[in-house]
Structure 1
């Protein structure tokens, strides 16, 4: 897990309705948070609307617990003509000492969209 120590793109707290029968947060809940964080980063890079087109890899490292504070870090890993691969690392701030626990990481691909919802070239860097 290659966590960027810059400010997180998103910070959230799971709610009691996000818990599964094991007392952990649903994987789908964290997946949606990752998609939001990646979308924010991709839209900034694309300077406009984007759509998620793939989740190339996602690895659950540790469970997310109810009282965790979740921080999502996103970095551009690859840049194509119309698409961006965004690495999203998720950390949980846990316990009284607020230790940082890596909980999941994934590589999401987004494509820049034009006004007709078709792929468009990314702006020059």
Structure 2
């Protein structure tokens, strides 16, 4: 596992709430995956300069639990760009509310496809990598 969170700014940062947790106070994996999809979607739409949709999630790994009240930072980096698709590495890190120590909790690769107004795949314009 990584020594610390990535040095860039997170795509999103959020505080976990009781409604996002199970009866034991751990955050639902589906909620966390949704946050990762939101972060990757922001990066994909910006790079594609338009709408992009999730087509796959690969290698989802859960390393540690997240508790109610933790701060979750989600980092997303484009690692591959094809004609219509982008692969984005996504990591989620937790920090307890009253601590400075961070812990990697999840990671996966999200694949997005740029789509046009008819929701059909469209080429991604040549642009510098934005993450």
Mark yes or no: TM-score above 0.5: yes
Does the CA-based 8 Å contact 1:64-1:103 persist in structure 2? yes
CA offset at residue 95 of structure 1? 5.2
CA contact (8 A) 1:94 1:101 kept: no
Aligned residue in 2 for 1:43: 45
Which structure 2 residues correspond to residues 1-125 of structure 1 after superposition, within 5 A? Answer: 3-94=5-96, 96-125=98-127
Instruction: Identify unmatched segments of 5+ residues in structure 2.
Output: none
Q: Per-residue CA shift, 1:12-50, capped at 9, x if unaligned?
A: 111111111232000010011000000000001100001
Aligned residue pair count: 125
Partner SS, residue 65 of structure 1: coil
Consecutive unaligned residues in structure 1, runs of 5 or more: none
Query: Please, what is the CA RMSD of the aligned residues?
Result: 1.3
For residue 55 of structure 2, give the secondary structure of its aligned residue in structure 1.
strand
